[in-house]
């Protein structure tokens, strides 16, 4: 009698026990090896002297060294069309029960007798990284796995053959091999110490033969007196293999990056592959100080900073440099690099450029919200003839520079003539950049190429010359009592694709290193009021007329004289009360702006009236 019961993921095969006449029959597990935390697939083969109708495998492991990920049918079991196969994975092993012919019409399929017949495969992975080569057994085990506990058997002629009936059980061995240690590197890098914030990229890479990397942490420190960490980004290999989570933190003396390769559903298992020079991350730095020397003179020493893979220093709690392999956090060997701030040689040029803002205020670069003024460009060069400029400028996102507003009037270019002008303005800060302005000027760009240039300036009188100017407006979003910077910057693309930088063309050479002076707009509050609102209650009515009379004849204090000047004649007297009453009750003319319905700045200048003391401004 033979019964088969499936419960959960267990198979129990109960058979009449009998010995089988004839030669030796056996089950054998092949040997294998694993490097690091990799995996290997072992073959389970069968020697049989008769046709086999089914079998049960029960295989145990040392779970401190191995894990089982799969035990499945293979070879002859699949080719003969097994109709029932029930695997079960446990912490310390796996079982597999197979019946070749388990479904109607019971055609009687079997695995024929033979030697070395492949019937199943077992996939195991290293549970740890060994410090020396280690062998561990993968063993047939009877009466210990599953519930009820199963034994290793073959089913032939309706009878079961197990170890007690002469079935040989030949265990396998997996050799866990000590891998070469993974190594994490910071590669040497550099940037010119030009004082313009030019960047250099330092790669963090790894050599790894331990196993596919599921995630990593990099923590790199530097000398903040020499370089500044500008950004941390994913390396090319991290990007190309589909990292789904990243978090970076920048500190004064370093930065950390944490990456998980497979973080989001459907959890497809993406990893970083084995190999050398795998690009994990890019740390971007700029040099703190300029180191500029005149070509032909002695080259100064370069400043350097170590780029140290520094575990346990950065972050709260402090982070270590680690690789995550097979769910384990492994600390690689760390090999640090150096960032060099290269001295910059420049021709002996004395060109100086300025930007300055001018508004209709007492101090030229002070402006109100919504006010428009001029952004002016000047140059000075006492011993060269300038053929052209590229002006590349960054500015605060609360300013608007008007693209079509370039003016030559009153400038040296208006006198000399210019044959090429290109202006780009990028006021869109939604891409995370600042506002960007690019101006290209070339004196001689058209036939007959007469060689016109900008003239030399006067050294003795310290004369500088106006190149041109553009209109700039303070947006209503600007912060009051604060500077909105406008500054020279390099490597910007405006509205185009080409990244440009500041340069002066002298004797057909591009000069990038010369003195440039930034500017700013200082946003100041502007008094606003409602004309006619003499009592400062934010409405204009009969009470304001009474307040005007009480101020004129009884000395009643008022906060904003301009608001009481309802006829806007620059004087406070009885006429203001009469003017307001005529508007309120006799269809007289409305008080001039601002008001009387909404607050606003004074449209006229009343030098004779005191400044409002209402603390009501447009900020």
Q: What is the pLDDT of residue 383?
A: 86
Place of tokens 């004309």: 531
Average pLDDT (338-359) is 88
Confidence of residue 248 (pLDDT cuts 50, 70, 90): very high
| % of the chain at pLDDT higher than 90 | 69
* Lowest mean pLDDT segment, chosen from 187-196, 292-301, 515-524, 580-589: 292-301
- Domain match, 424 and 475 both: yes
Last residue of a domain, one of 330, 346, 362: 346
Q: What is the pLDDT of residue 459?
A: 72
Q: For 477, how many CA atoms within 13 A lie in the half-sphere containing its CB?
A: 5
* Lowest mean pLDDT segment, chosen from 7-11, 196-200, 487-491: 7-11
pLDDT, tens digit (0-9, with 9 covering 90-100), for 510-550: 888 888 999 999 988 877 888 999 998 989 999 999 999 99
- Rounded CA-CA distance 172/539 in Å is 95
Q: What is the pLDDT of residue 615?
A: 64
Last residue of a domain, one of 500, 523, 546: 523
pLDDT, tens digit (0-9, with 9 covering 90-100), for 327-338: 888 899 999 999
First to last CA, the chain: 95
Identify the CATH number of the domain in which residue 564 sits.
Answer: 1.10.1330.10
Q: What is the pLDDT of residue 347?
A: 64
Identify the CATH number of the domain in which residue 333 sits.
Answer: 2.60.40.680
Confidence of residue 618 (pLDDT cuts 50, 70, 90): low
- Domain match, 553 and 577 both: yes
- Domain match, 307 and 371 both: no
Q: Are 328 and 348 in contact (CB under 8 A)?
A: no
Tokens of 393: 């400028």
- Domain match, 187 and 335 both: yes
pLDDT, tens digit (0-9, with 9 covering 90-100), for 540-599: 999 999 999 999 999 999 999 999 999 999 899 999 999 999 999 999 999 998 889 888
pLDDT of 22 > 60? The answer is no
How do 10-17 and 159-161 pair as beta strands?
parallel
- Domain match, 384 and 401 both: yes
- Rounded CA-CA distance 378/454 in Å is 12
Three-state helix/strand/coil letters over 481-526 = CEEEEEEECCCECCCCCCCECCEEEECCEEECCCEEECEEEEECCC
- Domain match, 326 and 192 both: yes
Q: What is the pLDDT of residue 614?
A: 61
DSSP labels, 360-422 = SSSSTTEE-TT-EEEEEEEEE-SS--EEEEEEEEEE-TTEEE-TT--B-TTSHHHHH--SEEE
pLDDT of 159 > 60? The answer is yes
pLDDT of 6 > 70? The answer is no
- Domain match, 91 and 27 both: yes
DSSP labels, 175-200 = EEEPPPPPEEEE--EEEE--SS--EE
- Domain match, 325 and 372 both: no
Buried-exposed string 153-183: b where 16+ CB fall within 10 A, e elsewhere: bbbbeebbbbeeeebebeebebebeebeebe
- Domain match, 162 and 228 both: no
Confidence of residue 18 (pLDDT cuts 50, 70, 90): very low
Q: What is the pLDDT of residue 9?
A: 32
- Domain match, 513 and 544 both: no
Q: What is the pLDDT of residue 156?
A: 95
- Domain match, 248 and 163 both: no
The helix (run of H) or strand (run of E) holding residue 238 is helix 236-240
Angle among Cα 368, 369, 375 to the nearest 5 degrees reads 70
pLDDT of 320 > 70? The answer is yes
pLDDT of 8 > 50? The answer is no
- Domain match, 390 and 485 both: yes
How many independent structural domains does the chain possess? 4
The whole-chain average pLDDT of the chain stands at 90
How many other C-beta atoms can be found within 10 angstroms of the C-beta atom of residue 358? 16
pLDDT, tens digit (0-9, with 9 covering 90-100), for 72-81: 999 999 999 9
Query: Can you give the residue range of the structural domain that contains 255?
Result: 183-346
Q: What is the pLDDT of residue 170?
A: 97
Q: What is the pLDDT of residue 23?
A: 55
Place of tokens 């029959």: 25
**pLDDT: which is higher, 347 or 227:** 227
Q: Are 90 and 59 in contact (CB under 8 A)?
A: no
Q: What is the pLDDT of residue 362?
A: 67
pLDDT, tens digit (0-9, with 9 covering 90-100), for 256-287: 999 999 999 999 999 999 899 999 999 999 99
* CA-closest candidate to residue 96, choices 76, 70, 115: 70
- Rounded CA-CA distance 163/219 in Å is 57
Last residue of a domain, one of 151, 177, 203: 177
Confidence of residue 187 (pLDDT cuts 50, 70, 90): very high
| Strand spans (E) along 81-151 | 84-90, 93-99, 114-126, 134-140
The CA–CA distances, whole Å, from 579 to 272, 576, 585, 589, 601 equal: 81, 5, 10, 8, 21
């Amino acid at each position: 009698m033979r019964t088969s019961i499936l419960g959960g993921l267990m198979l129990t095969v109960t058979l009449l026990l009998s010995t089988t006449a004839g030669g030796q029959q056996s089950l054998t597990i092949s040997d294998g090896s694993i490097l690091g935390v990799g995996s290997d697939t072992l073959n389970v083969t069968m020697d049989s002297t008769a046709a086999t109708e089914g079998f049960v495998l029960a295989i145990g492991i040392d779970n401190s060294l191995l894990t089982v990920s799969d035990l499945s049918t293979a070879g002859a079991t699949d080719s003969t069309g097994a109709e029932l196969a029930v695997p079960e994975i446990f912490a310390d092993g796996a079982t597999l029960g197979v019946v070749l012919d388990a479904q109607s019409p019971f055609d009687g399929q079997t695995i024929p007798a033979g030697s070395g017949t492949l019937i199943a495969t077992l996939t195991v992975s290293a549970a740890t990284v060994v410090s020396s080569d280690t062998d561990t057994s993968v063993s047939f085990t009877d009466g210990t796995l599953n519930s009820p506990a199963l034994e290793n058997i073959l089913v032939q002629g309706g009878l079961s053959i197990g170890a007690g009936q002469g079935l040989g059980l030949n265990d396998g061995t997996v050799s866990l091999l000590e891998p070469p240690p993974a190594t994490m590197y910071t590669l040497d890098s550099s940037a010119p110490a030009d004082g313009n914030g030019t960047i250099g990229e330092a790669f963090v890479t790894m050599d790894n033969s331990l196993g596919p990397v599921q995630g990593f942490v990099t923590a790199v420190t530097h000398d903040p007196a020499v370089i500044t960490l500008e950004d941390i980004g994913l390396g090319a290999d991290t990007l190309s293999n589909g990292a789904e989570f990243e978090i970076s933190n920048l500190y004064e003396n370093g930065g950390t990056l944490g990456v998980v390769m497979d973080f989001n559903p459907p959890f497809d298992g993406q990893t970083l592959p084995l190999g050398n020079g795998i690009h994990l991350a890019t740390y971007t730095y700029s040099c703190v100080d300029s180191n500029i020397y005149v070509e032909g003179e002695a080259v100064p020493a370069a400043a350097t900073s170590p780029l140290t893979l520094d575990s346990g220093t950065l972050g709260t709690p402090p982070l270590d440099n680690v690789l995550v392999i097979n769910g384990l956090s492994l600390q690689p060997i760390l090999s640090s690099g150096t960032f060099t701030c290269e001295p910059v040689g420049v021709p002996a040029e004395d060109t100086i450029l300025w930007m300055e803002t001018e508004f209709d205020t007492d101090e030229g670069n002070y402006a109100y919200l919504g006010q428009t003024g001029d952004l002016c460009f000047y140059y000075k060069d006492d011993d060269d003839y300038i053929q052209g400029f590229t002006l590349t400028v960054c500015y605060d996102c609360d300013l608007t520079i008007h693209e079509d507003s370039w003016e030559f009037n009153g400038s040296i270019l208006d006198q000399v003539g210019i044959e090429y002008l290109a202006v780009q303005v990028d006021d869109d800060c939604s891409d995370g950049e600042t506002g960007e302005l690019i101006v290209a000027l070339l004196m001689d760009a058209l036939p007959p190429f007469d060689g016109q240039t900008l003239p030399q300036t006067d050294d003795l009188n310290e004369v500088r010359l106006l190149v041109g100017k553009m209109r700039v407006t303070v947006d209503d979003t600007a912060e009051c009592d604060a500077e909105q910077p406008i500054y020279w910057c390099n490597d910007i693309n405006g509205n185009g694709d080409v990244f440009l930088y500041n340069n002066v063309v002298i004797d057909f050479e591009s000069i990038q290193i010369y003195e440039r002076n930034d500017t700013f707009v200082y946003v100041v509050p502007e008094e606003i009021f409602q004309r006619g609102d003499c009592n400062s209650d934010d409405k204009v009515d009969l009470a304001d007329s009474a307040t005007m009379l009480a101020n004129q004849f009884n000395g009643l204090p008022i906060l904003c004289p301009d608001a009481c000047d309802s006829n806007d004649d620059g004087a406070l007297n009885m006429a203001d009360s009469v003017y307001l009453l005529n508007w309120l009750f006799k269809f007289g003319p409305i008080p001039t702006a601002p008001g009387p319905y909404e607050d606003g700045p004074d449209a006229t200048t009343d030098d004779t009236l005191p400044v409002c003391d209402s603390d009501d401004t447009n900020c």
